[in-house]
Amino acid sequence: QVQLVESGGGLVQPGGSLSLSCTASGLRFALDSYAIGWFRQAPGKEREVISSISSSGSSTYYADSVEDRFTISRDNAKNTVYLQMNNLKPEDTAAYYCAAALLRYRIATEENEYDYWGQGTQVTVSS
User: Per residue in 11-61, pLDDT tens?
Assistant: 999 999 999 999 999 999 889 999 999 999 999 999 999 999 999 999 999
Whole-number pLDDT of residue 105:
85
Share of the chain above pLDDT 70, in %: 100
Determine the pLDDT at residue 95: 98
Per-residue pLDDT, averaged over 83-111, amounts to 96
pLDDT at 21: 98
DSSP string, the chain: --EEEEE--EEE-TT--EEEEEEEES-SS-GGG-EEEEEEE-TTS--EEEEEE-TTSS-EEE-TTTTTTEEEEEEGGGTEEEEEE-S--GGG-EEEEEEEE--SSS---SGGG--EE---EEEEE--
